[in-house]
Amino acid sequence: MIVETLPYDGSSEQLVELINEQADKGLRLVSVQNIDSGNFVSFVPKDFFTPNEQLSKAQERIAELEKADLDNKKLINGLAEIILGGM
């Protein structure tokens, strides 16, 4: 889910400026593309996570649960959070 893709001149100054402007709108940088037709940056909502990011967050949360000394109810609730995406 890309919300906005904008062209930029390739400079780090403009990139930082675009990131800050979009952050004020509730968006975060998700990709920078340098292709033949120019340089582009893409943004998504801050609360949107790509499948790879979701997987990484789930793996981190599972590792936390494995280290914690939890009773079954807390463990089940933690795993349910992961499955439902509330990491």
Q: What is the pLDDT of residues 15-71, one digit of tens each?
A: 999 999 999 999 999 889 888 888 999 998 988 777 788 788 888 888 887 787 777
* Residue 40, helix vs strand vs coil: strand
Highest mean pLDDT out of 24-28, 33-37, 74-78, 81-85: 24-28
Tokens of 11: 């400079």
Q: CB atoms < 10 A from the CB of 12, how many? A: 8
Q: pTM here?
A: 0.57
- Residue-range domain boundaries for the chain: 4-45, 51-84
Q: CB atoms < 10 A from the CB of 44, how many? A: 19
